[in-house]
Amino acid sequence: MSPSAELLAPPPPPASAPSAVGEAPHTIWSRFVILMLCLAIVTTTLAFGTVHTWALAAFQLSAGLVVAFWMADAWRTGALRLSRSFLQAPLAAFVLLGLVQLLPLGTGSVENIAAGGLSVEPTRALSFDPYATRLVIIQALALFVYFAAALAFVDSPRRLRLVVRVIVVFGFVLALFGLMQYFLNPYVIYWVREPKQAQPFGPYINRHHFAGYMELALAMPLGLLFSGAIDRDRVPLYAFFTLIMSVALVMTNSRGGIISLVAEILFLVVIAAGVGRESGREVGGRVRAAAARVAFAFALLVTLFLFALYSGGEQSLSRLVGSINDADPTTGRAHFWKGAVEIIKDHPLLGTGLGSFSAVYPRYDTGNGAYRLEQAHNDYLQIVSDGGIVAALLGLVFVAVLFRQGFARLHSRDKFRRGVALGALTGCAGVLVHSLFDFTLHTTANALLFLLLAALATMNGRIEEAEKPRRRRRRRSGSNSHAEVTSAAVGDERSHLPA
């Protein structure tokens, strides 16, 4: 090339800043996926927790819409967004287990019934209730879609903050609504519907499930506060959000919810002590921070105690023991658990079928059978009853991977990322404690928020803010020029290093 040609040649384009590792461009379709995710957090809760057939159908259709947006995003970018998170494997295997239970490999779960010369052919599926198992599979697939979409599309610090704010703000608004409805008319949902066989709270027909949702929602601002991820001017606001959600939980009169709240606070006090050690804080600073966290936890518990005393008098102080029967402190749960254990003994490997507990339990009920039991009031026993040892192992793998990866994220250099991971793990730990006494994760809204927190706790570095370079103070102009020369020399030296 001649010198004149070189002068006329256009200058090379400037090098673009490197993007975050694994971050794809944000299309309009990916924004729709995030919008659907945020809407699902709100709508599944307001629709009575999404437990009715119409609400379940709407939720499953919305999952199909998410898949459509997902495919449109793949068409637009030329690449299908998929997360490599191992947490997806146990959930996918759980769906596969349900499909295996539908195979015609059984010996017949019901007797032939002769009526007017007609007979009903017994089902040959491994599941004792194939219809219920199909419904569970469809619901699990819908939840899996939202979980996988959260892992794939919450891929930037901005989107992370958006989802976290939706959880915190909506949890606060929901708590306010629940308290207002409780003090005005505690027996009618939306001042329109009055459940006949349950004690509602907020939009939930079952007050225990509302308590479970509060455990998940309030854990996020608690984690941000305990990790020091909130600016000082916003600390009172987040503390107020946490207080209102905690008060709403206490007012549900759910003993399992109150025990889980105490477990969450203890979890935070213990785990938060190790958060941020890699930031270089001195031992004295860590001790002061730990003392501040303990003081905050103590103040929160005292405030809840005083509010309960003020709002309900002496009767409110007996919430943990007021409804306990001396003959049966578990209020009937021990009887349910005994029946579930007997089912597990007879069907240890693959269980009786996902969602089949209500159909199988009457055969093991030693009571008078006055009412039909839908759930075992213990998620651990029921998952083994429905899915056997295989389902139990899948659940253990999910929980183990969740906390292992979540603890690893607690050492991130991004303090907001650390706070999100701590809050998400705290919420998951709290609801896992509550699952010992109730079946809160059988409610779609609670299961969705649990999976979303699990995703937020384990996401990779794409959602972390870039670390800002530290600036050193320069005292004299001479030192400034020396620093500039040294920096230039270092830059020249690095430019000659091999890539």
Q: What is the pLDDT of residues 156-199, one digit of tens each?
A: 999 999 999 999 999 999 999 999 999 899 899 998 999 887 88
Is the predicted pLDDT of residue 434 greater than 70, yes or no? Answer: yes
Per-residue pLDDT, averaged over 197-207, amounts to: 91
Would you say residue 283 has pLDDT above 70?
no
CA-wise closest residue to 259 among 250, 272, 270 = 250
Question: CA-CA distances (angstroms) from residue 116 to 106, 113, 362?
Answer: 27, 10, 27
- Listed residue (196, 300, 291, 295) closest to 243, CA to CA: 300
pLDDT at 95: 96
Q: Write out the H or E segment, with its range, that includes residue 383.
A: helix 379-409
| Total residue count of the chain as it appears in this document | 499
Distances (CA, A) of 370 to 195, 199, 366: 19, 19, 11
Q: Return the pLDDT at 374.
A: 86
- Structure-model confidence comparison of residues 111 and 401, the more confident one: 401
| Residue 218: pLDDT over 60 | yes
DSSP state of 350: S
Maximal C-alpha separation, the chain:
107
Q: Enter the pTM of the model.
A: 0.84
281 vs 387 pLDDT, higher one? 387
Confidence of residue 461 (pLDDT cuts 50, 70, 90): confident
The two structure tokens encoding residue 39: 């809407």
Is the per-residue pLDDT at 71 higher than 50? yes
Can you read off the two tokens belonging to residue 262?
């105490």
The pLDDT assigned to 284 comes to 56
pLDDT value at position 19?
Answer: 41
Q: Which segment of 9-23, 246-260, 321-335 scores lowest on mean pLDDT? A: 9-23
- How many whole angstroms from its chain centre is CA 9? 56
Quickly state the pLDDT bin for 453 (edges 50, 70, 90): very high
Band of residue 497 on the pLDDT scale cut at 50, 70, 90: very low
pLDDT at 298 over 80: no
Where b means 16+ CB within 10 Å and e means fewer, 270-280 reads ebbbebbeeee
Query: Which pLDDT score is estimated for 116?
Result: 45
* Average pLDDT for 452-456: 97
Tokens 């949890």 found at: 171
Listed in sequence order, the residues at least 6 apart from 478 whose beta carbon sits closer than 8 Å to its beta carbon are none
% of the chain at pLDDT higher than 90: 56
Question: Contact, 33 vs 73, CB < 8 A?
Answer: yes
What pLDDT sits at residue 379? 94
pLDDT over 50 at 492, yes or no: no
User: Distance between CA atoms of 267 and 429, rounded to whole angstroms?
Assistant: 8
- Rounded to whole angstroms, how far apart are CA atoms 319 and 168? 27
**Burial label, 436 (beta-carbon count in 10 A; 0-12, 13-18, 19+):** middle
Residues 6+ apart with CB under 8 A from 130: 101, 102, 123, 353
> Is a pLDDT exceeding 80 seen at residue 113?
no
What pLDDT band is residue 413 in, cutting at 50, 70 and 90?
confident
Given a cut of 90, whether residue 37 has pLDDT beyond it is yes
Supply the pLDDT for residue 436.
93
Query: Across all residues in the chain, what is the average pLDDT?
Result: 82
Instruction: Point out the least confidently predicted range of 60-74, 180-194, 378-392, 477-491.
Output: 477-491
Cβ burial of 247 (10 Å; 0-12, 13-18, 19+) is buried
Residue 289 has a pLDDT of 64
State the residue for tokens 């608690």.
222
Q: Hey, what are 109's tokens?
A: 């779960």
Q: Is 311 exposed, middle or buried (0-12, 13-18, 19+ CB in 10 A)?
A: middle
Amino acid identity at 430: G
**E strands, 130-270, in order:** none
Q: Given this model, what pLDDT does residue 3 score?
A: 44
The pLDDT assigned to 417 comes to: 93
**Residue 94: is its pLDDT beyond 60?**
yes
Residue 145: pLDDT above 80? yes
Q: What percent of the chain has pLDDT over 70?
A: 74
The confidence band for 336, taking pLDDT boundaries of 50, 70 and 90, is: confident
Cα distances (Å, whole numbers) of residue 111 to 8, 354, 357? 90, 21, 18
Of the pLDDT bands very low, low, confident and very high (cuts 50, 70, 90), residue 39 is very high
